[in-house]
Protein backbone atom coordinates (compact mmCIF):
# COMPACT_ATOMS: atom_id res chain seq x y z
CA UNK A 1 0.00 0.00 0.00
CA UNK A 2 1.14 3.51 -0.77
CA UNK A 3 1.15 4.60 2.86
CA UNK A 4 3.26 1.65 4.07
CA UNK A 5 6.56 3.53 3.62
CA UNK A 6 5.29 6.57 5.48
CA UNK A 7 5.24 7.01 9.22
CA UNK A 8 1.64 6.95 10.53
CA UNK A 9 2.20 10.26 12.31
CA UNK A 10 3.25 11.83 9.00
CA UNK A 11 -0.01 10.84 7.33
CA UNK A 12 -2.07 12.08 10.28
CA UNK A 13 -0.18 15.38 10.54
CA UNK A 14 -0.50 16.17 6.83
CA UNK A 15 -4.19 15.24 6.86
CA UNK A 16 -4.83 17.48 9.89
CA UNK A 17 -3.04 20.40 8.21
CA UNK A 18 -4.98 19.97 4.97
CA UNK A 19 -8.36 19.69 6.70
CA UNK A 20 -7.73 22.63 9.05
CA UNK A 21 -6.50 24.92 6.26
CA UNK A 22 -9.23 23.93 3.81
CA UNK A 23 -11.98 24.36 6.39
CA UNK A 24 -10.68 27.79 7.36
CA UNK A 25 -10.43 28.89 3.73
CA UNK A 26 -13.98 27.83 2.91
CA UNK A 27 -13.41 28.13 -0.87
CA UNK A 28 -15.28 25.56 -2.93
CA UNK A 29 -12.58 24.95 -5.53
CA UNK A 30 -9.95 24.35 -2.85
CA UNK A 31 -12.23 21.80 -1.18
CA UNK A 32 -12.90 20.15 -4.53
CA UNK A 33 -9.16 20.05 -5.27
CA UNK A 34 -8.45 18.39 -1.91
CA UNK A 35 -11.15 15.77 -2.49
CA UNK A 36 -9.78 15.10 -5.97
CA UNK A 37 -6.27 14.74 -4.55
CA UNK A 38 -7.53 12.24 -1.98
CA UNK A 39 -9.16 10.22 -4.76
CA UNK A 40 -5.92 10.21 -6.75
CA UNK A 41 -3.99 8.96 -3.72
CA UNK A 42 -6.64 6.30 -3.15
CA UNK A 43 -6.36 5.14 -6.76
CA UNK A 44 -2.59 4.83 -6.40
CA UNK A 45 -3.09 2.88 -3.17
CA UNK A 46 -5.74 0.62 -4.81
CA UNK A 47 -8.42 1.58 -2.30
CA UNK A 48 -10.47 4.07 -4.33
CA UNK A 49 -13.63 1.94 -4.41
CA UNK A 50 -13.67 1.49 -0.65
CA UNK A 51 -12.98 5.19 -0.13
CA UNK A 52 -15.87 6.21 -2.39
CA UNK A 53 -18.34 3.78 -0.81
CA UNK A 54 -17.48 4.67 2.77
CA UNK A 55 -17.39 8.40 2.05
CA UNK A 56 -20.72 8.40 0.24
CA UNK A 57 -22.37 6.53 3.12
CA UNK A 58 -21.49 9.48 5.39
CA UNK A 59 -21.49 12.45 3.01
CA UNK A 60 -24.81 11.88 1.26
CA UNK A 61 -26.96 11.94 4.45
CA UNK A 62 -24.98 14.91 5.78
CA UNK A 63 -25.30 16.83 2.51
CA UNK A 64 -29.02 16.04 2.35
CA UNK A 65 -29.53 17.46 5.82
CA UNK A 66 -27.62 20.60 4.83
CA UNK A 67 -29.90 21.03 1.81
CA UNK A 68 -33.03 20.60 3.93
CA UNK A 69 -31.84 23.07 6.55
CA UNK A 70 -30.26 25.80 4.44
CA UNK A 71 -31.79 25.45 0.98
CA UNK A 72 -35.33 24.22 1.55
CA UNK A 73 -36.48 25.16 5.04
CA UNK A 74 -34.48 28.39 5.41
CA UNK A 75 -36.12 31.77 4.87
CA UNK A 76 -32.98 33.85 4.35
CA UNK A 77 -31.87 34.90 0.90
CA UNK A 78 -33.24 37.26 -1.72
CA UNK A 79 -32.74 35.32 -4.94
CA UNK A 80 -35.65 32.89 -4.84
CA UNK A 81 -35.28 29.97 -7.23
CA UNK A 82 -38.40 28.03 -6.26
CA UNK A 83 -41.33 28.80 -3.98
CA UNK A 84 -44.02 26.17 -3.43
CA UNK A 85 -46.04 26.46 -0.24
CA UNK A 86 -43.76 26.18 2.81
CA UNK A 87 -40.77 25.28 0.62
CA UNK A 88 -38.61 28.16 -0.53
CA UNK A 89 -35.32 27.47 -2.28
CA UNK A 90 -32.94 30.40 -2.57
CA UNK A 91 -29.61 30.72 -4.32
CA UNK A 92 -27.97 31.87 -1.08
CA UNK A 93 -29.29 28.80 0.72
CA UNK A 94 -28.01 26.47 -1.98
CA UNK A 95 -24.60 28.13 -1.87
CA UNK A 96 -24.39 27.84 1.90
CA UNK A 97 -25.48 24.20 1.83
CA UNK A 98 -22.91 23.41 -0.87
CA UNK A 99 -20.12 25.17 1.02
CA UNK A 100 -20.88 23.36 4.28
CA UNK A 101 -21.30 20.07 2.42
CA UNK A 102 -17.90 20.44 0.78
CA UNK A 103 -16.25 21.21 4.11
CA UNK A 104 -17.82 18.09 5.59
CA UNK A 105 -16.74 16.08 2.55
CA UNK A 106 -13.12 17.16 2.96
CA UNK A 107 -13.11 16.06 6.59
CA UNK A 108 -14.79 12.74 5.84
CA UNK A 109 -12.73 11.85 2.75
CA UNK A 110 -9.40 12.79 4.34
CA UNK A 111 -10.24 10.94 7.55
CA UNK A 112 -11.31 7.75 5.78
CA UNK A 113 -8.27 7.90 3.51
CA UNK A 114 -6.05 8.01 6.60
CA UNK A 115 -7.72 4.90 7.99
CA UNK A 116 -7.17 3.11 4.67
CA UNK A 117 -3.53 4.13 4.26
CA UNK A 118 -2.37 3.65 7.85
CA UNK A 119 -1.64 0.13 8.99
CA UNK A 120 -3.14 -0.48 12.43
CA UNK A 121 -0.12 -2.42 13.64
CA UNK A 122 2.22 0.33 12.47
CA UNK A 123 0.15 2.97 14.25
CA UNK A 124 0.17 1.09 17.55
CA UNK A 125 3.90 0.44 17.23
CA UNK A 126 4.55 4.12 16.46
CA UNK A 127 2.63 5.18 19.56
CA UNK A 128 4.52 2.68 21.71
CA UNK A 129 7.86 3.86 20.33
CA UNK A 130 6.99 7.49 20.95
CA UNK A 131 7.09 9.36 24.24
CA UNK A 132 3.37 8.86 24.75
CA UNK A 133 2.20 6.94 27.85
CA UNK A 134 1.93 3.18 27.27
CA UNK A 135 -1.74 3.33 28.21
CA UNK A 136 -2.39 5.37 25.07
CA UNK A 137 -0.98 2.66 22.84
CA UNK A 138 -3.12 0.05 24.54
CA UNK A 139 -6.27 2.19 24.23
CA UNK A 140 -5.63 2.76 20.52
CA UNK A 141 -4.94 -0.92 19.94
CA UNK A 142 -8.05 -1.95 21.87
CA UNK A 143 -10.19 0.48 19.88
CA UNK A 144 -8.80 -0.50 16.48
CA UNK A 145 -8.92 -4.25 17.02
CA UNK A 146 -11.92 -4.54 19.32
CA UNK A 147 -14.47 -2.94 17.00
CA UNK A 148 -14.00 -5.52 14.18
CA UNK A 149 -14.18 -8.30 16.77
CA UNK A 150 -17.43 -6.90 18.15
CA UNK A 151 -18.85 -6.66 14.63
CA UNK A 152 -17.93 -10.30 13.99
CA UNK A 153 -19.50 -11.41 17.26
CA UNK A 154 -22.65 -9.44 16.55
CA UNK A 155 -22.94 -11.10 13.14
CA UNK A 156 -22.42 -14.55 14.66
CA UNK A 157 -25.06 -13.89 17.33
CA UNK A 158 -27.53 -12.77 14.66
CA UNK A 159 -26.91 -15.91 12.59
CA UNK A 160 -27.37 -18.11 15.67
CA UNK A 161 -30.69 -16.43 16.46
CA UNK A 162 -31.85 -16.86 12.88
CA UNK A 163 -31.06 -20.58 13.05
CA UNK A 164 -33.11 -20.79 16.24
CA UNK A 165 -36.01 -19.15 14.45
CA UNK A 166 -36.12 -16.02 16.59
CA UNK A 167 -38.75 -13.73 15.11
CA UNK A 168 -39.20 -10.42 16.92
CA UNK A 169 -39.34 -6.70 16.39
CA UNK A 170 -36.24 -4.58 15.92
CA UNK A 171 -36.09 -3.55 19.59
CA UNK A 172 -36.39 -7.15 20.73
CA UNK A 173 -33.69 -8.23 18.26
CA UNK A 174 -31.47 -5.43 19.51
CA UNK A 175 -31.95 -6.54 23.11
CA UNK A 176 -31.34 -10.21 22.30
CA UNK A 177 -28.10 -9.34 20.54
CA UNK A 178 -26.88 -6.72 23.00
CA UNK A 179 -27.02 -8.89 26.13
CA UNK A 180 -24.75 -11.73 24.88
CA UNK A 181 -22.49 -9.19 23.16
CA UNK A 182 -21.94 -7.21 26.37
CA UNK A 183 -21.48 -10.34 28.46
CA UNK A 184 -18.97 -11.72 25.96
CA UNK A 185 -17.02 -8.44 25.99
CA UNK A 186 -16.88 -8.46 29.80
CA UNK A 187 -15.63 -12.04 29.71
CA UNK A 188 -12.91 -11.10 27.19
CA UNK A 189 -11.84 -8.20 29.41
CA UNK A 190 -11.63 -10.53 32.42
CA UNK A 191 -9.47 -12.93 30.40
CA UNK A 192 -7.10 -10.18 29.22
CA UNK A 193 -6.63 -8.59 32.63
CA UNK A 194 -4.44 -11.37 34.17
CA UNK A 195 -2.27 -11.49 31.05
CA UNK A 196 -1.68 -7.75 31.18
CA UNK A 197 -0.90 -7.91 34.89
CA UNK A 198 1.49 -10.84 34.38
CA UNK A 199 3.41 -8.78 31.82
CA UNK A 200 3.70 -5.84 34.19
CA UNK A 201 1.38 -3.52 32.29
CA UNK A 202 1.82 -0.63 32.27
CA UNK A 203 5.56 -1.01 31.78
CA UNK A 204 7.68 1.47 33.70
CA UNK A 205 11.10 0.81 32.16
CA UNK A 206 12.37 0.78 28.60
CA UNK A 207 10.44 -1.34 26.13
CA UNK A 208 11.67 -3.24 23.10
CA UNK A 209 9.43 -3.92 20.14
CA UNK A 210 10.13 -6.34 17.34
CA UNK A 211 8.15 -4.24 14.85
CA UNK A 212 9.97 -1.18 13.52
CA UNK A 213 8.28 1.85 12.00
CA UNK A 214 10.09 3.49 9.05
CA UNK A 215 10.96 7.10 9.73
CA UNK A 216 13.43 9.66 8.44
CA UNK A 217 14.56 13.21 9.21
CA UNK A 218 12.67 14.37 6.13
CA UNK A 219 9.41 12.92 7.45
CA UNK A 220 10.01 14.50 10.85
CA UNK A 221 10.48 17.89 9.22
CA UNK A 222 7.28 17.35 7.25
CA UNK A 223 5.43 16.57 10.47
CA UNK A 224 6.74 19.70 12.17
CA UNK A 225 5.70 21.80 9.18
CA UNK A 226 2.28 20.14 9.08
CA UNK A 227 1.67 20.79 12.78
CA UNK A 228 2.68 24.43 12.28
CA UNK A 229 0.25 24.71 9.35
CA UNK A 230 -2.51 23.12 11.42
CA UNK A 231 -2.06 25.71 14.17
CA UNK A 232 -1.07 28.80 12.21
CA UNK A 233 -2.75 28.24 8.83
CA UNK A 234 -6.33 28.90 10.01
CA UNK A 235 -5.15 31.93 11.99
CA UNK A 236 -3.41 33.39 8.94
CA UNK A 237 -6.55 32.90 6.85
CA UNK A 238 -9.10 34.10 9.37
CA UNK A 239 -7.13 36.94 10.97
CA UNK A 240 -7.71 39.41 8.06
CA UNK A 241 -11.43 38.59 8.15
CA UNK A 242 -11.62 39.21 11.89
CA UNK A 243 -9.64 42.43 11.59
CA UNK A 244 -11.87 43.63 8.78
CA UNK A 245 -14.98 42.80 10.80
Same domain, 116 and 222: yes
One domain for residues 138 and 181: yes
| Higher local confidence (pLDDT), 133 or 110 | 110
Total domain count, the chain: 2
- d(Cα 144, Cα 153) in Å, to the nearest integer? 15
In order of 10, 74, 80, 133, the CA distances from 124 in angstroms are 14, 46, 53, 12
**154 and 52 within one domain:** no
Q: Which of 36-45, 70-79, 134-143 has the lowest mean pLDDT?
A: 70-79
53 domain-assigned: yes
Can you give the pLDDT at residue 86? 62
Q: What per-residue confidence (pLDDT) applies to 220? A: 92
In this structure, the answer to whether residues 194 and 99 fall within a common structural domain is no
Instruction: Please determine, for residue 60, whether its predicted confidence score (pLDDT) is greater than 60.
Output: yes
Residues 60 and 165 both lie in one domain? no
Within-domain flag for 185? yes
**Which of left, alpha, beta for 136 (phi over 0: left; psi -120 to 50: alpha)?**
alpha
Is the pTM higher than 0.95? The answer reads: no
The range of the structural domain enclosing residue 142 comes to 134-198
pLDDT in tens, 79-100: 766 666 666 677 777 878 888 8
Helices (H), the chain: 8-25, 28-44, 48-66, 91-117, 120-129, 134-163, 170-198, 217-244
Q: Indicate if 171 and 151 belong to the same structural domain.
A: yes
Name 123's Cβ contacts closer than 8 Å, sequence gap at least 6: 8, 140, 144
For 174-210, write each residue's pLDDT tens digit.
666 777 777 777 777 677 666 566 555 655 556 566 6
Cα–Cα distance for residue pair 108/231, rounded to 1 Å: 20
**Calpha distance 2→6 (Å, rounded):** 8
Q: Is residue 203 part of a domain?
A: no
**Co-location of 188 and 234 in the same domain:** no
Beta bridge partners of 80: 90
Coil/strand/helix, residue 157:
helix
Task: Tell whether 116 and 140 lie within a shared domain.
Answer: no
- Quick one: pLDDT at residue 41? 94
The pLDDT of residue 71 is above 70: no
At 169 the pLDDT is 65
Amino acid sequence: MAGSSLHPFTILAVAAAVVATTTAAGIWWISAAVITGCLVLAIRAHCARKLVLLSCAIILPAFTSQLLIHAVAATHGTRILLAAGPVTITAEGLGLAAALGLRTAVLVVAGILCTLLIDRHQLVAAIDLSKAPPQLGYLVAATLFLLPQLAGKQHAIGQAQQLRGVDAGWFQRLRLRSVPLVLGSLQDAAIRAPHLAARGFPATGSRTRWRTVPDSPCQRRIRYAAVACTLLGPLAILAPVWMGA
